[in-house]
């Protein structure tokens, strides 16, 4: 058959005829001359991104969130009311000018300020000892491993029962919800102090207390600030839980109030405030870390 065809039209024409009917499966990619594979600068794995790209992509990410929000608010109807960014902004402005935002803000900040400060202080002392002394580690690790897995939020009813509905159960909840993470993570930071640094300090005449104070503590400082920054999110979570249940003031309390009066814009306003506070505290702690430990800057 093939032989017949060949004799009838000639080989080249036969190939051309087949090619015309059967399209190539995939267009052949032109391989650039030279060895190796070129990589596009934007999609290199774990590579530095040029600054314009970084800024541009960050802007695009934020714009994406805003676009979804706008799209959702445009479609909002019936039960699912999504206020527009403009309405939300108006609600923020109203809350600010009425002074309500300020009092809610200071109430919430007071709680998390005290609670988280206590949590970090305990975390620093216990974590420092746990990371430096294996005897403390042995004594403390098992109970903390157990307590850590009790969700702090599950303690809320108990705290309300024991401590009433004042400030103390709220502050306590913030402490309990973060302190175990702080202890364990500070201990990890302390364990990262190089053994040789400790050894060399002994050979320079430092005693154990001096090594703790003048070597382990300063070496751990930037890491401890990072721990504070990362676990602060858990602190906010605990604050919200505490305020949702029983409070007369506070940012999360305002959300519950707004729900009663169907003020979705006020709810959104408070969520935005939470987000802004979170980002601001994150940036502030990053700045603090670089300010107190310029040597650890990457």
Partner 1 sequence: MTVAPAPATVRKLDMTRVIKTFPARRRQNPVVAVGPVDLHVDAGELVCIVGTSGCGKSTLLNIAGGLDHATLGGVSVDGEPVIGPGPDRGMVFQGYSLYPWKTVAENVAFGLECQAVTRARRAERVRELLAIMDLTAFADRLPKELSGGMRQRVAIARALAPEPDILLLDEPFGALDAQTKLAMQEFLLLVWQRTAATILMVTHDVEEALFLSQRVYVMHGRPGRVVEVVDVPFGRSRSTIVKRSPKFLDLRDEIQELFRQPTS
Which residue, 121 or 204, has its beta carbon nearer to partner 1? 204
Q: Which of residues 257-296 bind partner 1 (CB under 8 A)?
A: 293-296
Q: Token pair for residue 252? A: 């999360």
CB nearer to partner 1: pick between 42 and 200? 200
Tell me the closest approach of the beta carbon of residue 32 to partner 1, in angstroms: 37
Shortest spacing between CB 129 and partner 1, in angstroms: 21
Provide the token pair at 141.
Answer: 């690790």
How many CB atoms are located within 10 Å of the residue 96 CB? 14
Does 254 contact partner 1 by CB under 8 A?
no
- Picking from 226, 138, 244, the residue whose alpha carbon sits closest to that of residue 181 is 226
Assess contact for 87 and 265: CB atoms under 8 A: yes
Angstrom distance (rounded) from CA 256 to CA 278: 20
Which lies closer to partner 1 via its Cβ, residue 212 or residue 256? 212
Interaction between residue 200 and partner 1 (CB under 8 A): yes
For position 219 contacting partner 1 by CB under 8 A, the verdict is yes
| Choice from 159, 215, 247, 252 touching partner 1 (CB under 8 A) | 215
The pattern of x and - marking residues 102 through 131 that bind partner 1 according to CB under 8 A reads ------------------------------
Residues in the chain: 298
At 271, give phi and psi (nearest 5°).
-60, -40
Contact pick of 86, 202, 276, 287 for partner 1 (by CB under 8 A): 202
Smallest separation, CB 220 to partner 1 (Å):
11
What stretches of the chain show up as alpha helix (H) in DSSP?
Answer: 2-9, 11-21, 51-75, 85-97, 100-132, 134-148, 156-163, 167-191, 195-203, 208-211, 217-245, 251-260, 264-292
Q: Which two tokens stand for residue 261?
A: 């009066």
With CB under 8 A as the contact rule, which of the stretches 67-75, 173-181, 191-199, 249-257 interacts with partner 1? 191-199
Interacting residues toward partner 1 by CB under 8 A: 194, 196-197, 199-207, 210, 214-215, 218-219, 221, 293-296
């Amino acid at each position: 058959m093939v032989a017949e065809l060949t004799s009838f039209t000639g080989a080249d024409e036969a190939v051309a005829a087949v090619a015309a009917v059967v399209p190539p499966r995939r267009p052949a990619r032109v391989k650039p001359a030279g060895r190796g594979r070129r990589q596009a600068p934007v999609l290199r794995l774990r590579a530095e991104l040029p600054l314009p790209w970084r800024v541009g992509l960050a802007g695009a990410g934020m714009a994406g969130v805003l676009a979804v929000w706008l799209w959702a608010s445009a479609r909002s109807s019936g039960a699912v009311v999504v206020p527009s960014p403009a309405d939300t902004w108006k609600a923020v402005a109203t809350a600010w000018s009425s002074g309500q935002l300020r009092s809610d803000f200071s109430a919430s900040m007071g709680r998390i300020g005290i609670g988280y400060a206590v949590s970090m202080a305990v975390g620093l002392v216990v974590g420092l000892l746990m990371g430096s002394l294996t005897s403390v580690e042995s004594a403390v690790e098992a109970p903390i491993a157990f307590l850590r897995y009790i969700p702090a939020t599950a303690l809320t009813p108990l705290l309300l029962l024991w401590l009433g509905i004042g400030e103390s159960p709220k502050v306590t909840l913030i402490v309990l919800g973060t302190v175990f993470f702080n202890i364990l993570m500070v201990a990890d930071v302390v364990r990262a102090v190089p053994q040789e640094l400790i050894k060399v300090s002994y050979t320079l005449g430092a005693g154990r207390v001096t090594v703790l104070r003048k070597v382990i503590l300063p070496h751990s400082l930037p890491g401890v600030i990072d721990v504070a920054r990362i676990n602060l999110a858990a602190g906010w979570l605990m604050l919200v839980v505490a305020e949702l249940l029983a409070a007369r003031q506070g940012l999360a309390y305002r959300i519950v109030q707004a729900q009663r009066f169907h003020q979705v814009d006020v709810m959104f306003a408070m969520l935005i405030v939470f987000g802004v506070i979170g980002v601001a505290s994150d940036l502030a702690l990053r700045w603090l870390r670089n300010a107190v430990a310029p040597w650890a800057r990457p």
